[in-house]
Structure 1
Amino acid sequence: MKCLAITLIVHRPDPATGVKKPTHDRFREVLDNAVLAEELGFDGFGVGERHERPFLSSSPTVVLSHVAARTRRIRLFTAVTTLSLLDPVRAYEDYATLDHLSEGRLDLIIGKGNGTAQRELFHVTPEDQWDRNAESYEVFRQLWRQDRVTADTRFRPPLKDAEVWPRPYQRPVRVWHGSATSKESVDLAARYGDPLFSANVTHAIEPYAELIRYYRERWEHHGHDPARITVGAGSAGLYVARTTQEALTAYRPLFESNLAFQREAGLPVVFETLEDFVERGSALIGSPQQVIDKVHRYHEEFGHTVLHVHADASGLTDIQHRDSLELFQSAVAPVLRRDIPDPPFAWEPVVPGPAATDR
């Protein structure tokens, strides 16, 4: 199993102190967490994309470019690239450039995105968002693979024998499809034989498991090799401690702060207590063995070979945060890597053949 650390760059007051860090400091924290993730041996570091409060992740390519400059080994993920909001030509230019700067360490997780504010900002409607996402991906995919592209598009000016530069480093880049609760992204992933990344954050396990089952059905319907199916899954929170009680005690103020935020924002509350959150949700909170057992339980339902955990302290102290990540990597990750297989593809950059002049 491969393990990623991911941030959406949430910018809210600290649950313990009530103080909100300056924007500059929050970005520095993200960069430091990326370096820490590489030092501790995580396989990937991801940055989300959101265009509304309380997030600072509106420009993941810029953040990941800086992460690329400060790291050497760790793969870089988007989580997710909101292609329904973006011009696929501009998105291709940005990510092809990042792919070169990172020496081919880029993976994309794409999705339509969500949130009324960002849809209004980009003049995207609930009725056309899925069509926009599919069209943008189809154009993006062609641009990555073909030197010249012709596309009769609805949501941007059509392309006719278009050249877009730079040509990519990886041939091709790996693109995952982020899925929360809708079948449209699952259908798109299965159609093209692409890996699926389940959000697996907000609800209990069943709706996510149902979508993954549907993905497997559609994968085989489109004639792809079942042995090549690849699923990743998220988690709703992380705190690994020596004992379950120590973990619950440390995490309780964070849970209660997040619960208050959900109620204040009018968001649906799925888990009313921390104990229910740990038992039925995807949060990895507890002793190393408790976390291992939970990932195995989810793996029985999902068959996932990639797991993401939170890169941010999210209200934990710096010491608690680092201790938790260190314990995860020393006591949890080795067992998961031993017991659960890796994805059925190489983790390294895909750059076939000799160096080409167009790079």
Structure 2
Amino acid sequence: MKFLTITLIVHTPDPATGRAVPTRERFRQVVESARVAEELGFDGFGVGERHEYPFVSSSPPVVLSHIAAVTSRIRLFTAVTTLSLLDPVRAYEDYATLDNLSDGRLELIIGKGNGEAQRRLFSVTPEDQWARNAESYELFLRIWRDHKVTARPRFRPELADAEVWPLPLQQPIRIWHGSATSRESVDLAARYGDPLFSANVTNPVEPYAQLVRHYRERWAAYGHDPAALAVGAGTAGFHVEKRSQDALATYRPAFEHQLAFMQQHGIEPVFATYEDYLERSSALIGSPQQIVEKVHRYHEHLGHTVLHLSADATGLDTATHHRALELFQSDVAPVLRREIPDPPWGWGSPATADLSDTAAVPVGG
């Protein structure tokens, strides 16, 4: 099993002090989180994309480019790239640049995104968002693979023998499809033979497991090799200490702050009590052994081989969160790495050929 830490770059006042750090400092915290993740031995670090409050993650390629400069090994993920909102040509330019700057460490998780404010900002409607997502993905992929493209898309101007620069380093690039509530993204991933990343955060496991089962069915229907299928999954919260009672006591105020934030903004919580949250959500709170056992329970439903934890302290102080990440790597990750298989491709670039500009140029390109 492989492990990522992920941030959506939420920028809200500290729940304990009521004060918010300057935006500049919030970005510095993200970069430091990535550096710590690499130092502790995590396999990947992800940055989300949101275009509405309370997030400042509107430009993940810029943030990830900075992270690429201060790290050397860790894989760099988007979580997710909201292709339904973006011009796929411009998105390609940003990510092909990042691919080169990171020495081919980039992996994309794509999705339509959600949120009414985001749709209004980019003039995307609920009726066309799935069509936009599929079209943008297909055109993005064509440009990455073919470089010179002729196309007549529905949602952007046509392309006539268009050359888009720079050439990427990885050929091909691994693209995951983020899955939360709908079958459209699941079917798109299965159709193209791409891995799936289940959000697995807001609800109990059953609706996510149902989508993963559908993905496996569609994967087989499209004729792909079952051995090549891969699923990732998120977690609703994380904290580990040597003793379960210490972990539960430490995290309780963090849960209560999250609950208060939802109530303040009129969001109906799925898990209204701490006990229900611990029992029915994907949160990993407890001793190392308890976390190992819960990941296995979720693995029985999802069959996932990649797991993400929050890169952010999320109601805890930073030092406490970093100690928990360190304990996860020392006492939890080694067990799960032994007992749950890795994705079927190893953990580097999806390309098997030499990563160079000449290798990246397609035949006839």
Give yes or no for TM over 0.5.
yes
Report the CA distance shift for 1:86/1:338 in structure 2 as closer, same or farther (over 3 A).
same
Change (3 A) 1:163 1:339: same
Please state whether the residue corresponding to 1:58 is helix, strand or coil. Answer: coil
In structure 2, the partner of 1:103 is 103
Q: Which amino acid aligns with 1:281?
A: S
Give the aligned partner of residue 315 of structure 1: 315
Question: Secondary structure in 1 aligned to 2:51?
Answer: coil
Give the 5 Å matches for 1:179-328.
179-328=179-328
Q: Alignment partner of 2:84: what SS?
A: helix
Secondary structure of the structure 2 residue equivalent to 1:84: coil
> 1:126-184, CA deviations, whole angstroms, 9 ceiling, x for partnerless residues?
00000000000000000010031111101000112111011110001100000001000
Query: Which residue number corresponds to residue 363 of structure 2?
Result: none
CA distance in 2, matches of 1:56, 1:9: 6
CA offset at residue 242 of structure 1?
A: 1.2
- Aligned ranges 1:61-80 → 2 under 5 Å: 61-80=61-80
Residues 39-188 of structure 1 mapped to structure 2, 5 A cutoff: 39-188=39-188
2:8 aligns with 8
Structure 2 Cα separation of the partners of residues 220 and 196 of structure 1: 14
CA contact (8 A) 2:168 2:357 kept: no
Per-residue deviation at 1:19?
Answer: 1.5
Residue in 1 that maps onto 2:31? 31
Partner Cα distance (2:61, 2:302) in 1? 30
Number of residue equivalences: 359
Deviation string 1:201-237 (CA, Å, 9 cap, x unpaired) is: 0000000000000000000010001111100000011
Percent of aligned pairs sharing the same letter:
69
SS for the counterpart of 2:277 is: helix
Q: Is the 8 A contact 2:49 2:78 kept in 1?
A: yes
The CA distance in 1 between the partners of 2:357 and 2:262, in whole Å, is: 51
| Root-mean-square deviation over aligned CA pairs | 1.0
1:20 counterpart residue number:
20
Comparing 132-141 with 147-156, greater Cα deviation is found at 147-156
The CA deviation at 1:305 is: 0.2
Deviation at 1:343, TM superposition (A): 0.1
Give the drift of 1:20.
1.2
Question: 1:57 and 1:189 mapped to 2: Cα distance?
Answer: 24
Distance 1:324 1:14 in 2: 19
- 3-state SS of the aligned residue for 1:266? coil
Give the TM-score normalised by structure 1. Answer: 0.98
What is the CA–CA distance in structure 2 between the aligned matches of 1:229 and 1:75, rounded to whole Å? 20
Equivalent residues of 1:167, 1:358 under 8 A apart: no
Structure 1's unaligned 5+ residue stretches are none
Amino acid at match of 2:194: D
Q: Which moved more, 1:93-102 or 1:265-274?
A: 265-274
Secondary structure in 2 aligned to 1:4? strand
- 1:25-55 Cα deviation digits (max 9, x unpaired): 1111000000000000000000000000000
Tell me which amino acid in the other structure corresponds to 2:222.
H
Task: Please give the per-residue CA displacement for 1:46-68, whole angstroms capped at 9, x wherever unaligned.
Answer: 00000000001000000000000
- The 8 Å contact of residues 219 and 226 in structure 1, kept in 2 or not, is answered as yes
The answer on whether the counterparts of 2:257 and 2:315 sit within 8 Å (CA) in structure 1 is no
Structure 2 segments unaligned to the other structure (5+ residues): 361-365
Could you tell me how far apart the structure 1 residues matched to 2:50 and 2:318 are?
25
Distance 1:205 1:351, change over 3 A: closer
Whole-Å separation in 2 of the counterparts to 1:206 and 1:268 = 19
Q: Tell me if the contact between 1:104 and 1:350 (Cα under 8 Å) persists in the aligned partners.
A: no
* Runs of 4+ that moved beyond 3 A: 350-359
